[in-house]
């Protein structure tokens, strides 16, 4: 399955990593990144196993951190649109263009 990340995902990830590393050091940042990788792996294993949050968009929550990915699956590919904190407004990032 082909994976595509929106160009702003890297910025979203860096912002979260910077926060956790500043709060508790590199070890917490590493745990956050591992949780992000686990969420991506879960999506790739079963992209249709996640609930819808908007037209054709699904949500994959992290296990240990209050973050989630919003993604879409179509024609053998998964496109990750946004990484956002659980307390962000539900439409945050949904206007991003590919």
CATH number, position 28: 3.30.2310.20
Q: Is residue 90 part of a domain?
A: no
Say whether pLDDT at 97 is over 90: no
pLDDT at 98 > cutoff 80 = no
Q: Is residue 46 part of a domain?
A: yes
Is 97 contained in some domain?
A: no
CB of 82 closer than 8 Å to CB of 12: yes
The confidence score (pLDDT) of residue 42 equals 97
More confident residue, 54 or 83: 83
Q: What CA–CA distance (Å, rounded) separates 80 from 71?
A: 4
Range of the domain at 42: 2-85
Q: What is the pLDDT of residues 10-26, one digit of tens each?
A: 999 999 999 999 988 89
Residue 96 in any domain: the answer is no
**pLDDT per residue over 34-77, tens digit each?**
999 999 999 999 999 999 998 899 999 999 999 999 999 988 89
Q: Which of 58, 17, 53 is nearest to 39 (CA)?
A: 58
Judge whether 95 lies within some domain. no
Query: Is residue 71 in some structural domain?
Result: yes
Q: What's the total number of domains in the chain?
A: 1
Q: What is the pLDDT of residue 43?
A: 98
């Amino acid at each position: 399955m082909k994976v595509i990340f929106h160009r702003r995902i890297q910025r979203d990830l860096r912002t979260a990593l910077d926060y956790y590393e500043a709060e508790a050091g590199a070890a917490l940042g590493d745990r956050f990144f591992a949780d992000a990788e686990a969420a991506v792996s879960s999506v790739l294993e079963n992209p249709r196993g996640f609930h819808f949050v908007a037209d054709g968009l699904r949500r994959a929550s992290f296990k240990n951190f209050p973050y989630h990915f919003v993604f879409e699956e179509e024609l053998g590919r998964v496109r990750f649109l946004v990484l956002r904190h659980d307390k962000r407004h539900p439409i945050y990032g949904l206007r991003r263009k590919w």
